[in-house]
Structure 1
Amino acid sequence: MGRMKQQFEREKEQLQKVHAPKELESRLRNRLDHLPNQKQRRSGKVWRRLAALIIISILIGYNYQSLAYYGKKIIGYDHVISNTLQQLNDSGMGQTINKSITFEDGTTFTIDGIIVDENQLIMFYTLESPGSIVKNTEYDHQPINITGFLTNASHESGMGEVSEDEKVIRGTHSFETPNGFAKELTVHFHETTETLTFSYNPEKAMGHTIKQTINEKVILNEALLTFQTIEASPTSTIIKGKGDKELIESLNFEQMELIVNGEKINLLSNGYSTNITGTTFEITYDAIPTDSNPLEVTLHLPNDQVLKIYRD
């Protein structure tokens, strides 16, 4: 069953539980009893019309947010976001937020909307300042993380486009995915205790298209590198692994090309971290097409090595 169909099935179940107040019928009938005789003769027809109006009101009132969600997109970002996000946004896969915070210096940060899947939360934002953000970098208030129920999502990346007068930035920030039970999220900003909280519907988050264990080992520069998993979602494709610390620190991840059915997928970001368990790395590419049959994912490594990591 498709995600949209599942959503409407859930709404249908909820609607079946909605009932008009017990006293509503008696109040309406009492009102009809006081109408002139000419209208009383039509009371059956009037009652049916009123009942229909009540049902329609309940349907529209309860489903307004869902209907608006499936019929709208986050506007004003056509020249800022990637083709992948543009397609998702055009399809109405975002959640409109429209919540703002104004800092002491007069700068306003607005969350216009978000797109969420199991790989990341992408925030569409607008930053408006009283002066040039380029000349006054303190106006550029950066979010550092998002918290909520069982959620502490770190900021991963951000980009934006500055207006001609240098007073407005419109762009996106990427965070780790929030917990699936979080209904309210709070954004924390750099060098301030002020926060911005907004409502969040986890049911509108998208899942994975591929979540596959790789566990392929390769030798590079006489050191071991293990590619552990690939997780493809509607917004991105993430390859995770581990290996020798010195090797990972020296790697140029841009030399690794993700090829899907002969097409090179854009590299978005990469990084690594070291703790007591070792050194891990993460390479993030753009979303991969899922309409090809068969679907083959191949990673081209330095020194002309080729690793086939997925085939469906």
Structure 2
Amino acid sequence: MTSSQARRHSRSDPPDGPAGRREVSGRLPWMLMAPAVAGLVFLVSPLAGLLIRAPWPTLFQRLAEPQVMEALRLSLVTATVATAGCLVLGVPLAWLLARVEFPGRRLVRALVTVPLVLPPVVGGVALLLVLGRRGLLGQWLESAFGITLPFTTAGVIVAEAFVAMPFLVISVEGALRAADRRFEEAAATLGASRWTVFRRVTLPLIMPGVVAGAVLCWARALGEFGATITFAGNFPGTTRTMPLAVYLALETEPEAAIVLSLVLLLVSVVILAGLRDRWVNSP
């Protein structure tokens, strides 16, 4: 390259060093910064208001109240049982969607994710039409086995599982698609059965995705409101979970509603902090 060509090349190409990068990144795009800050304030200010208005001097006293502890206990139990049921049903469903080719797989995947966008109240109505006492399956369950789901604790678990399972299925399916299938093929070549391959090879490979999906599923079940109140009602000690207790307390005792909301906020923050490497900081 001649000296004149080198001069033309240096004038046409942008600098590659740190100085060139600083020149590009140093200019603040104010047309984007203003709405970005406004969006941040919009999202953070309600949470800040919750913390500012919280009755801190009587916080632990209110947490120890029987109705608060009752709602907290019921929420923790039902969310945990619902998550366990989602694991039993959701992991095989995710495996089916990720590893088995069959007609209509895209439609099935779309149907699985419908509860993510379906209004929870509509989900509760749909559960009543299917599992209610006069529902398509509910009347058969009651006549054949004496099982009644609506307005019971079991109904709370069913409603929470219905709205929360898609979080688990999506997470596990993504982990299955990202897993290296050569390990499974090697185990099958050595004579391992499909169940052995899944239990000893596939499941350990996708365990981070299963754990992340289970935690998100549990958090969604813990915060479920619309489907629960529609399908299971709002009975103290039986179906009144923490979101329902917050809604009821707002009308009679706002400070108790703030305390319950703080507990749910704390759970959400802990979950986001625990999953930050997988969800928040993912590229």
| TM-score bucket of the superposed structures, by smaller chain | under 0.3
Structure 1 length-normalised TM: 0.20
Would you tell me which structure has more strand in proportion to its own residues? 1
Greater length-normalized contact order (CA 8 Å, ≥ 6 residues apart)? 2
Structure 2 length-normalised TM: 0.22
Would you tell me which structure has more helix in proportion to its own residues? 2
